[in-house]
Chains A and B, each alone.
Chain A
Amino acid sequence: MTIYRSPALQRYLKRLFVLMVFYLIALFAAVRLFRADAVSGVPAYALAITPALPIIGVFWAVMRFLIEEQDEFIRMLQVRQCLFATGFCLTVMTVWEFLQNFDLVPPGNGGFGAAFFWFVGLGLGGAYNRLTMGTAGCA
Chain B
Amino acid sequence: MNNRLRLLRSERSWSQQDLADRLEVSRQSVNAIETGKYDPSLPLAFRIAELFGLAIEEVFESPSRRRSGAI
Contact = CB atoms under 8 A, between A and B. Distances in A.
Contacts, number: 42
Contacts of A135: 28, 31-32
Shortest 10 CB-CB contacts between residues of A and residues of B? A73-B29, A4-B26, A135-B28, A71-B26, A71-B25, A73-B38, A2-B17, A73-B32, A133-B37, A72-B41
A72 B40 contact: yes
Interface in B17-53: 17, 24-29, 31-33, 35, 37-38, 40-41, 44
The DSSP consensus for interface residues of chain A is: loop
Contacts of A70: 24
Contacts of A138: 26
B47 to A, nearest CB: 11
A1 B29 contact: no
Interface residues on chain A, size class: 10 to 19
Interface of A: 1-2, 4, 6, 70-74, 76-77, 133-135, 137-138
Nearest to B38: A73
Contact of B27 (A4, A72, A77, A133): A4
13 contacts: A2-B27, A71-B25, A71-B29, A72-B25, A72-B44, A73-B28, A73-B38, A74-B26, A74-B28, A74-B29, A77-B28, A133-B37, A134-B28
B24 to A, nearest CB: 8
A72 B29 contact: yes
A133 B38 contact: yes
Given A72-B40, A73-B38, A135-B32, 4 more contacts: A2-B17, A72-B41, A134-B32, A137-B28
